[in-house]
Amino acid sequence: MTSRLIGRHITRCVWSVSLALSSGLLGCAASTARFPSRAEIHNIGDAPPPSRFARLDVVEVDTWKLEGPLPQVVGNEPHPASSPWDALLARVAQKRSGLVALTEPMHCMAREMGRFYMAKNGLPPDDLERFIAARCGVVGSGVSTWYQKGEVSEGTTVEQLHERWGSQVETAIAEQLGTGVRAAGLWAGVAGRHAVVVGISVIREIALEPLALVPDASGAVILKGEVLSPSENVTALVNKGRFGFAPCDPSPQAKLPRFELRCTPDKTDVSAWIELGTFPPGRVIGTTALTMLAWPAGEPGDTYARPAPEDVAPGGAAGGDTVRSFHDAINRVRAAASLSAVALAPAQTETARRVAPHFFAALFGLKPEILADKMALGLRAGWDVDGRISHGLITWGVVRNGPDVERLVASLLARPSGREALLDPAAARLAVGAVASPEDRVLAAVLCTYALFDPKEQAAAPEKILRRLTELRQKAGRRAPQRLQGLEGFIQSAIVQVGQRKDTPTEALDSLLQAAVEQTQRPARGWVSEASRIEELVYPPEILSEAALDVALGVAYYVPENEPWGRWVVFFVAVEGGVVASAGGPTRIW
């Protein structure tokens, strides 16, 4: 199943305009993500639901101890060929012209997955698989698992198993390995009369510099590396405490395809999950290129414990109403995290309910996997939510051994991306798409939260943006920006024009700069940046790097035609010399 990370921006483009006394224009085209339409999503939900929506060869456990040996770093150290099975995998890899790396972390994961299968006659659940990959130091996305099991004569050795099964396994792995740049591992084991061979592969989205599982002396985990495919953005989130999460800070010196992110977990946490996502140009659905478990307490552990439902304070019975149970459970967690409750969005919940079986069938390979991206984006759009949406977030999960809502919510809250969706401070609406198979004792749910536009936020946005701009400039060794006043009327006009969709953001910026030049008789520069959340605004590199900066800014909000979400539009204007002409003479005001 491919791992996805949901981005929080509609666009990452920043338009730049320079205007002197003789007009000139420089800019870039915006890259936007197209949401599936309401009709497209409803058509998917109208189709007959699939007969099955989840893998059944999975065994749930409360705890599981890894046997090791286990690494102390995350990386891609090569695995030396020391057995006939290693040589078999090497032959398969050689046919892929260097695209497949055989690494120690992947061998570790195949070994631990295989030992679990030997003991339980099934694959580990998603949470345990994630723990195994992280503890083995795997770097990659979309874990693909292949296994062969059977009975053998008592006393059969692993080498003898290779003589009997090797040819068949080699053919199967060559077919199952998949395309693209990958890392792979293979393990074979025999216990009594039972034998199993497990093959694992992941897609290598990034080349990561080796790093320790324990944070450095400052308490930080520094993720450094290079993206291996075209990407517009690289982001990461880290868990903090019981319910907290935070974005990892990017280094302004790192330019794509290079990246450097500083993640700081709480020093009192025993362990903390970190998720790093890469986003192709124009996409808000990215790929989780790294899922890492850091150990702030100083000693990496070897024992998995299923996320405890106790973290989701049990509530009263919901009378068999699964949607209400999810709604109540999420609001109990939000209350414990000192967040406001979310209201259920009935029409959007009905849409999610109808789409959910198809979504999970696509995630588990029972339908074309590309449909999962389309459905995730369509549900996140929130076409049937009542209100002006500023942004939406989505998360999903599966539990087995009964329809345990609290356990599923606890599992989602173990991941930074799950916390971001369910514990978004701005969230006001919730949609629940739950699907259950009583005969298989499986419960799956896709959960979406939506933030609505708040006029009070628009009024407070300029000061918030100025504070963040000051922080970023100080980190880059630049002085705090000076705020220009005197252009307010021009900026307000641009805000109104964009908000009423009379001008595009770039048209409004061009008019704003023309007016600024005429008013001040000085060259002016301007930038306009769009984002679905003020917190995730992209700041133009020029205003972060200039030694001195005098800037005026304005914030607009509008909903583009035929799109489900509104966008924040932020105008930055700088006048050469930092002086603005006014009726009372030149002034510069902080």
pLDDT tens, residue by residue, 268-299: 999 999 999 999 887 777 889 999 999 998 89
What count of other Cβ atoms lies within 10 Å of the Cβ of residue 254? Answer: 15
Selection from 15, 145, 41 nearest residue 380 by Cα:
41
Can you read off the two tokens belonging to residue 225? Answer: 């590396």
Q: How many helices (H) and strands (E) does the chain have?
A: 14, 26
Mean pLDDT over the full length of the chain: 87
Task: Look at residues 516, 529, 527 and name the one whose alpha carbon lies nearest to residue 569.
Answer: 529
Q: What is the pLDDT of residue 16?
A: 42
What are the helix (H) ranges across 121-272?
126-135, 158-176
For the ranges 9-18, 117-126, 435-444, which has the lowest average pLDDT?
9-18
Give the residue with greater pLDDT, 6 vs 249.
249
Say yes or no to pLDDT of 4 above 70: no
Instruction: Report the pLDDT value the prediction gives residue 53, as an integer from 0 to 100.
Output: 75
Residue 19 has pLDDT above 70, yes or no: no
Question: How large a percentage of the chain has pLDDT more than 70?
Answer: 90
Query: What's the farthest any 2 CA atoms get from each other in the chain?
Result: 98
Helix/strand/coil for 390:
strand
In this prediction, residues 75-81 reach a mean pLDDT of 92
pLDDT value at 487 more than 80: yes
pLDDT digits (tens, 9 = 90+) for 504-532: 898 999 988 888 888 888 888 899 998 87
Reported as a pLDDT band with limits 50, 70 and 90, residue 49 is confident
Q: Which residue has the higher pLDDT, 28 or 463?
A: 463
Mean pLDDT across the stretch 32-48?
87
Helices 370-381, 346-363: axis angle to 10 degrees equals 170
Residue 183 CA to residue 509 CA, distance in Å, equals 47
> What's the mean pLDDT in 256-265?
97
Are 512 and 495 in contact by the 8 Å Cβ rule? The answer is no
Q: Output b/e per residue, 356-370; b: 16+ Cβ within 10 A.
A: bbbbbbbbbebbeee
pLDDT of residue 422: 97
Q: Are 330 and 343 in contact (CB under 8 A)?
A: no
For residue 154, give both structure tokens: 């008592």
* Average pLDDT value for residue range 38-46: 95
Q: Per-residue pLDDT for 496 more than 60? A: yes
The predicted pLDDT at position 251 comes to 94
Residue pointed to by tokens 């740049």: 181
Report whether CATH 3.40.33.10 matches the domain 38-55+311-452: yes
| DSSP letters for 395-434 | EEEEEESS--HHHHHHHHHTSHHHHHHHT-TTEEEEEEEE
- Would you say residue 26 has pLDDT above 50? no
The order of strands in the sheet holding 182-191 is: 100-102, 182-191, 194-203, 141-151
Q: How far is CA 307 from CA 117, 425, 432, in A?
A: 21, 23, 21
Is the overall model pTM greater than 0.85, yes or no?
A: no
In the chain, residues under CATH classification 2.60.40 are 210-303
Name the nearest CA neighbour of 579 among 513, 532, 539, 519.
519
Structure tokens at 582: 């006014």
What are the angstrom distances between the C-alpha of 538 and each of 93, 232, 530, 543?
A: 41, 12, 8, 11
Mean predicted confidence (pLDDT) in 485-499? 88
- In percent, the amount of the chain with pLDDT more than 90 equals 62
Tell which CATH classification among 3.30.750, 3.40.33, 2.60.40, 3.30.450 matches the domain 63-204. 3.40.33
CB environment 429-465: b (16+ within 10 A), e (fewer): bbbbbbbbbeeeebbbbbbbbbbbbeeebbeebbeeb
Contacts of 275 (CB under 8 A, 6+ apart): 5, 236, 237, 288, 290, 291, 292, 415, 416, 417
Q: What's at 460, amino acid-wise?
A: A
Query: In this model, does residue 488 exceed pLDDT 70?
Result: yes
**pLDDT tens digits along 534-567:** 888 889 888 898 888 888 999 998 888 888 998 8
Q: Which overall architecture, per CATH, does domain 4-32+455-578 show?
A: 3-Layer(aba) Sandwich (3.40)
Q: What is the pLDDT of residue 315?
A: 56
What is the structure's pLDDT at 56?
Answer: 74
- Please name the fold of domain 210-303: Immunoglobulin-like (2.60.40)
Mean pLDDT of 329-345: 96
Q: Is the pLDDT of residue 233 over 70?
A: yes
Domain ranges in the chain with CATH number 3.40.33.10: 38-55+311-452
Q: Residues with Cβ < 8 Å from 397, sequence gap 6 or more?
A: 126, 408, 411, 412, 418, 444, 445
Per-residue pLDDT at 173 = 92
pLDDT in tens, 86-131: 999 999 999 988 899 999 999 999 999 999 999 999 999 999 999 9
- Phi/psi for 453 (5° steps) reads -65, 130
